[in-house]
Amino acid sequence: MAGPLTVPRLPPHDPGTPALSVVDMHTGGEPLRIVLAGCPEVVGPTLLAKRRYMRQHLDHVRRRLMFEPRGHRDMYGAVLVPSELPDAHLGVLFLNNEGYSSMCGHAVLALGRFALDFGLVPAPPAGAREALVNIHCPCGLVAAFVACEGGRSRGPVRFHSVPAFVLATDFLVDVPGLGKVVVDVAYGGAFYAFVSAEKLGLDVCSAKTRDLVAAASAVTEAVKAQFKINHPDSEDLAFLYGTILTDGKDTYNEEPTTNICVFADEQVDRSPTGSGVTARIALQYHKGLLELNQTRAFKSSATGSVFTGKAVREAKCGDFKAVIVEVSGRAHYTGTASFIVEDDDPLRDGFLLK
């Protein structure tokens, strides 16, 4: 009988291409692949400059980690980088199937745990029940508060958003195949179009995911073509990230309200969408449907996972009246991996199936 199998540290691979080491997590079912090592230096004086540099010079890293055969079309990732902000513990660039997000709430909830557990922030004082992690996202500085015990993460995480505001309400768009549709556009670190699925002839709780994706994607493309997105701070943030279909239950209720977010290149968020919850609360507050510090629960129609959120104080973003939103949820670790490249692999940079 042969002896025990000896497993090398890494399989044969291109010695000129460092292995990409990652920690995988999920928040409410939505994956997050955090790069530990192997990504070349991301150059730039500011986080937004680093985001541009990575898009222009290091996009192969995103494709290798997000795309098949190492990922899938709904994979999501994070590359940690230094921040120019003195109060930030870390900076982060968010990766999706199309490019680079400006904000990601589910990732912030996971990164809060990760930063504490992997020593990226000072250990909290003895007996502390919560640790502060300041995360510099492309949209700005986001404060995460991580429940902890004995200096390690334990339990839920909450974050306070950048100023969230409403860009447009009751905007009429002509959506091919769906006709005239009334949408709202709001910002929670990223811009989303919001529409009740019922207006599109769908039930967000029971419709097939592919039908929800098709409808949301059609709305996204129509809004992009017919509505000008602008952000008072930076043109880098002035783009429509996706569409969130809701159950239409915007008036305050103690029962969860359900939604599904379709973003980037028809990517489906398995969680209730942290930045989407932020924008949706800003929208409800703007319409007088929600008061400060009134907590609502938001449920994902994809997995049933729940985030809670509330507007904690008023703010400004340029000339826009805004609110700071607190979003809470739970993130979990799922594993670690090291991804390699062989120099003769024709699919080394990955692929996606439509």
pLDDT over 90, % of the chain = 95
| CATH number reported for the structural domain that contains residue 304 in this entry | 3.10.310.10
Is residue 7 in a domain?
no
Asked whether the predicted pLDDT for residue 322 surpasses 60, the reply is yes
Q: Residue 111: give the domain boundaries.
A: 20-161+333-339
Q: Looking at the structure, do residues 177 and 231 belong to the same domain, yes or no?
A: yes
Q: Looking at the structure, do residues 142 and 207 belong to the same domain, yes or no?
A: no
Q: Looking at the structure, do residues 74 and 188 belong to the same domain, yes or no?
A: no
The pTM of the full predicted model, rounded to 2 decimals, is 0.96
Asked whether the predicted pLDDT for residue 354 surpasses 90, the reply is no
Is residue 8 in a domain?
no
Q: Looking at the structure, do residues 155 and 175 belong to the same domain, yes or no?
A: no
226-241: per-residue pLDDT in tens?
A: 999 999 999 999 999 9
Q: Looking at the structure, do residues 131 and 241 belong to the same domain, yes or no?
A: no
- Give the pLDDT of residue 161: 98
In this structure, are residues 114 and 23 in contact, taking their beta carbons and an 8 Å threshold? yes
* DSSP E strand stretches across the chain: 20-27, 30-37, 77-81, 90-95, 100-101, 130-137, 140-149, 152-160, 164-175, 179-187, 191-196, 240-246, 257-263, 267-268, 296-300, 306-317, 320-329, 331-339
Q: Looking at the structure, do residues 302 and 193 belong to the same domain, yes or no?
A: yes
pLDDT over 70, % of the chain = 98
94-110: per-residue pLDDT in tens?
A: 999 999 999 999 999 99
Rounded-to-integer distance, Cα 298 and Cα 296, Å: 7
Asked whether the predicted pLDDT for residue 29 surpasses 70, the reply is yes
- Give the pLDDT of residue 141: 98
Q: Looking at the structure, do residues 222 and 270 belong to the same domain, yes or no?
A: yes
Is residue 14 in a domain?
no
Return the axis-axis angle of helices 274-286 and 105-117, rounded to nearest 10°.
130
- Give the pLDDT of residue 1: 45
Is residue 194 in a domain?
yes
114-150: per-residue pLDDT in tens?
A: 999 999 999 899 999 999 999 999 999 999 999 999 9
Q: Give me the active site residues, please.
A: 104
Is residue 106 in a domain?
yes
